Amino acid sequence: MHKSKLFYKLFIIGSLLMVLLIIFVFIFAIMSQYRGETKKTIFLPDKYFFKQDYQVDDPFITRNPGLRDMLAGPIISAADPATGDARASVVIVEYSDFVCKHCFEQEQLLKKIVSDYKYKVRLIWKDYPELDQDSASYQAAIAGRCAQEQAQFWPYHDFLYEYKDRLNRGTFLEIANLLELNIDNFKNCLESDKVKDLINDNVAEANALDITGIPFIYVNDQEIMGQIDYEDLKKIVEIELGK
């Protein structure tokens, strides 16, 4: 008789523990899903410069608007390489190319600005290579994005400019070795099409903004086409910081 009561009690306790376990697993699954959804939002583009006369919900628009219809400035996105404080009040977006001599000269100026205005200026890179995907220009853009996959875009970027007169597959691998990248992953990336979408998105964006020459930069929403000297760029940065 006592054994029956003991068995009954153990059965009740076991059943309660099982119910509690099921409830715990259910709550954990819900919270995990919530955290997963929160993480996804981090990688969404966080800023667009829309044209003032563009209305997303205009009922009279009978066709799907393109980038040219919408954009008045660059798309600020985590997909593109960036350096400097993510909370900086001044964001410089550069459309550039690794075989462009004037782009290389402006790179030195931009690096100095970022260094001189620590925590105040953020620099974002946008690829704008030649359209020929077999060109050294486009292949260098691919190599840079493959280095980005291993969190080494900016050091790789510096080497690409340093070796700009001999950009080819051998040079790309040489730089990857210097930076101790995972060579197998890097080679696979070079031979695949997975980073081309990032480059092509940048080109489409530049075309939508009617950018026809490089270097071309935005300082927040201020457009600067062609080269600019350090003092003039510094003045623009100071104005933006004062807003």
Q: What is the pLDDT of residue 219?
A: 96
Q: Which residues contact 178 (CB under 8 A, 6 or more apart)?
A: 159
Q: In the structure, what pLDDT confidence band is assigned to residue 5 with cuts at 50, 70 and 90?
A: low
Q: What is the pLDDT of residue 12?
A: 66
More confident: 24 or 168: 168
The tokens for 130 are 């030649």
Q: What is the pLDDT of residue 195?
A: 95
Pairing mode, if any, of strands 90-96 and 216-219?
A: antiparallel
> Is pTM, for the whole model, over 0.75?
no
Report pLDDT digits (tens) over 141-163: 999 999 999 999 999 999 999 99
Report helix, strand or coil for 94: strand
Terminal C-alpha separation, the chain:
85
* Whether residue 63 has pLDDT greater than 80: no
Fold of domain 82-241: Glutaredoxin (3.40.30)
Query: What's the whole-number average pLDDT of the chain?
Result: 81
Ramachandran class of 217: left when φ > 0, alpha when ψ lies in -120 to 50, beta otherwise: beta
Pairing mode, if any, of strands 82-83 and 90-96?
A: unpaired
Q: In the structure, what pLDDT confidence band is assigned to residue 243 with cuts at 50, 70 and 90?
A: confident
Mean pLDDT of 184-188: 98
